Amino acid sequence: MINNDYIRGYFDAHGRVYVAHNGRRYPQYVVEFQDRDQTQLGRVNDYLLKLGYSPSRYTFRHASKFGEAVSNKIHIGKGSEVECFAKEIGTERPEWQERFDKFLETRQPAAPGESKGKRYEGNQT
């Protein structure tokens, strides 16, 4: 059964959190999963959708040591969803936890009337 603990372990093994600047005024924190196994990644994507996240999923081809390879990715880039992911699911990897902590410390409050997206409702393990 897939639950928050499973997603946390999968993220720790197949994910990362990084900062994308993309010409924006503020850096954008992104939660990313990457795996060649489309089935597993699909299960993770479905569970995230069930929790109310809006992940982007895509496949890309790239060169590898053994020829062309295909990888699959899921991105969560919406600030409110990255915040919820950090609080609800989290990570056991110290380097990712440091980035989540920095993100949460510098998180800009939403402007009046701005949608915060998914509401944080605590850990649902």
Q: What's the token pair of residue 104?
A: 């949460």
Angle in degrees, CA 27, 47, 119, rounded to 5: 55
Residues of the chain with pLDDT under 50: 111-125
The pLDDT score that the predictor gives to residue 98 is 93
Rounded distance, CA 16 to CA 14, Å?
Answer: 7
Q: What's the token pair of residue 90?
A: 């989290």
The domain ranges of the chain are 4-106
Superfamily of domain 4-106 in CATH is Homing endonucleases (3.10.28.10)
Rounded distance, CA 120 to CA 53, Å?
Answer: 11
The pLDDT score that the predictor gives to residue 109 is 58
